[in-house]
Amino acid sequence: MDSIYVDFKSRKPIYEQIVENVSSLALRGVLKPNESIPSVRQLASELGINPNTIHKAYAELERRGIIYSSQGRGSFVSDDLVGASDKKRADIIGSITSALADAHVYGIGKSEILQIVENEYAENDKEGEQ
């Protein structure tokens, strides 16, 4: 079973790891629409981190439309993940397009870019198997 986790050795801030982790679980359907997610205190206790960090991550997830909060009831996975997913896809494509334009300006060729893409996909596939 997939669950929310953090890598304390990573250079990536813990709240960003939580945002990415919950987003991934929700967008892959592991967390279902309207399913409750752990409370700030519960997740902080499970992961052994400051509740303020969890609160910051949840606020960002809510801003992105991945989760929503209900006063007195907790936080839940959004039932409009398609919209959140489409926005994220558009952001990613924009970032890739911008990076490719920069690569062209700095003389990074198509074959080098394709090799980078292949290496990254292979690395991500390897991480997904763990």
Reply yes or no on whether the pLDDT at 82 is more than 70. no
Q: How confident is the model at residue 1 (pLDDT cuts 50, 70, 90)?
A: very low
Q: What is the CATH number of domain 14-79?
A: 1.10.10.10
pLDDT at 89: 79
Q: Quick count: other Cβ atoms within 10 Å of Cβ 21?
A: 17
The predicted-structure confidence for 89-101, as pLDDT tens digits, reads as follows: 788 899 999 999 9
The CA distance from 33 to 62, in Å, is 14
Q: Which residue has the higher pLDDT, 81 or 7?
A: 7
Q: How confident is the model at residue 28 (pLDDT cuts 50, 70, 90)?
A: confident
The domain spans of the chain are 14-79, 82-129
Lookup: tokens for 42: 């519960």
The CA distance from 125 to 121, in Å, is 6
pLDDT at 99: 94
